[in-house]
Amino acid sequence: MSAEIPVAARATSVWTKSRWLKIPYRSFRFDVRYADGREEQVESLDKVLQGASYPADAWSTRKGAEKACPKEGTGAWVDYPYGRPL
Protein backbone atom coordinates (compact mmCIF):
# COMPACT_ATOMS: atom_id res chain seq x y z
CA MET A 1 0.00 0.00 0.00
CA SER A 2 1.29 3.45 -0.82
CA ALA A 3 1.83 6.17 1.76
CA GLU A 4 -0.10 8.60 -0.44
CA ILE A 5 -3.27 9.98 1.16
CA PRO A 6 -6.36 10.42 -1.05
CA VAL A 7 -7.92 13.83 -1.66
CA ALA A 8 -11.56 12.65 -1.76
CA ALA A 9 -13.78 9.77 -0.67
CA ARG A 10 -17.21 8.48 -1.71
CA ALA A 11 -19.57 6.04 0.00
CA THR A 12 -21.88 3.48 -1.57
CA SER A 13 -24.84 2.27 0.46
CA VAL A 14 -25.37 -1.49 0.60
CA TRP A 15 -28.27 -3.22 2.34
CA THR A 16 -27.46 -6.62 3.82
CA LYS A 17 -29.32 -8.97 6.12
CA SER A 18 -28.06 -9.78 9.57
CA ARG A 19 -26.92 -13.37 9.74
CA TRP A 20 -28.66 -14.14 13.01
CA LEU A 21 -31.55 -11.71 13.27
CA LYS A 22 -32.50 -11.68 9.56
CA ILE A 23 -33.02 -7.92 9.77
CA PRO A 24 -31.68 -5.76 6.94
CA TYR A 25 -29.14 -3.13 7.89
CA ARG A 26 -27.23 -0.49 5.99
CA SER A 27 -23.51 -0.74 5.50
CA PHE A 28 -21.10 1.26 3.35
CA ARG A 29 -18.38 0.58 0.81
CA PHE A 30 -15.90 3.31 0.01
CA ASP A 31 -14.05 4.61 -3.03
CA VAL A 32 -11.14 7.04 -2.84
CA ARG A 33 -9.71 9.47 -5.37
CA TYR A 34 -6.06 10.52 -5.44
CA ALA A 35 -4.57 13.81 -6.64
CA ASP A 36 -3.48 12.28 -9.96
CA GLY A 37 -7.08 11.27 -10.78
CA ARG A 38 -6.90 7.58 -9.88
CA GLU A 39 -9.97 6.08 -8.25
CA GLU A 40 -9.85 2.91 -6.16
CA GLN A 41 -12.36 0.89 -4.22
CA VAL A 42 -10.92 0.26 -0.77
CA GLU A 43 -11.55 -2.44 1.76
CA SER A 44 -10.77 -0.32 4.82
CA LEU A 45 -11.14 3.45 4.58
CA ASP A 46 -9.47 3.86 7.96
CA LYS A 47 -6.25 2.22 6.71
CA VAL A 48 -6.12 4.29 3.53
CA LEU A 49 -6.75 7.56 5.39
CA GLN A 50 -4.21 6.55 8.05
CA GLY A 51 -6.76 6.71 10.86
CA ALA A 52 -4.20 5.65 13.46
CA SER A 53 -2.12 8.76 12.74
CA TYR A 54 -4.94 11.16 11.86
CA PRO A 55 -8.08 9.91 13.65
CA ALA A 56 -10.10 13.14 13.49
CA ASP A 57 -9.47 13.58 9.76
CA ALA A 58 -10.38 9.97 8.97
CA TRP A 59 -13.51 10.12 11.13
CA SER A 60 -14.81 13.39 9.64
CA THR A 61 -14.15 12.18 6.07
CA ARG A 62 -15.92 8.85 6.69
CA LYS A 63 -18.92 10.48 8.39
CA GLY A 64 -19.15 13.14 5.65
CA ALA A 65 -19.15 10.46 2.95
CA GLU A 66 -21.83 8.47 4.78
CA LYS A 67 -23.97 11.59 5.22
CA ALA A 68 -23.68 12.48 1.51
CA CYS A 69 -24.84 8.99 0.53
CA PRO A 70 -28.53 8.36 -0.28
CA LYS A 71 -30.38 5.35 1.15
CA GLU A 72 -29.54 3.34 -1.96
CA GLY A 73 -26.75 3.88 -4.44
CA THR A 74 -23.60 5.93 -4.61
CA GLY A 75 -23.15 9.25 -2.87
CA ALA A 76 -21.24 12.40 -3.71
CA TRP A 77 -17.48 12.85 -3.39
CA VAL A 78 -16.35 14.53 -0.17
CA ASP A 79 -12.98 16.15 0.44
CA TYR A 80 -10.28 14.97 2.78
CA PRO A 81 -9.87 15.96 5.67
CA TYR A 82 -13.07 17.96 6.24
CA GLY A 83 -15.75 15.69 4.76
CA ARG A 84 -17.50 18.48 2.84
CA PRO A 85 -19.19 17.58 -0.47
CA LEU A 86 -17.22 18.61 -3.55
Answer yes or no: is 73 within a domain.
Answer: yes
Answer yes or no: is 64 within a domain.
Answer: yes
Answer yes or no: is 1 within a domain.
Answer: no
Answer yes or no: is 17 within a domain.
Answer: yes
Domain containing residue 54: 8-78
Q: What is the DSSP letter of 57?
A: H
Single pTM value for the model: 0.85
Answer yes or no: is 84 within a domain.
Answer: no
Answer yes or no: is 34 within a domain.
Answer: yes
Give per-residue pLDDT as tens, 37-56.
999 999 999 999 999 899 99
What's the domain count of the chain?
Answer: 1
- State which amino acid sits at residue 64: G
Cβ contact 9:32 at 8 Å = yes
Classify burial at 10, counting beta carbons within 10 Å of its beta carbon; exposed 0-12, middle 13-18, buried 19 or more. Answer: buried
Answer yes or no: is 67 within a domain.
Answer: yes
pLDDT over threshold 50, residue 1: no
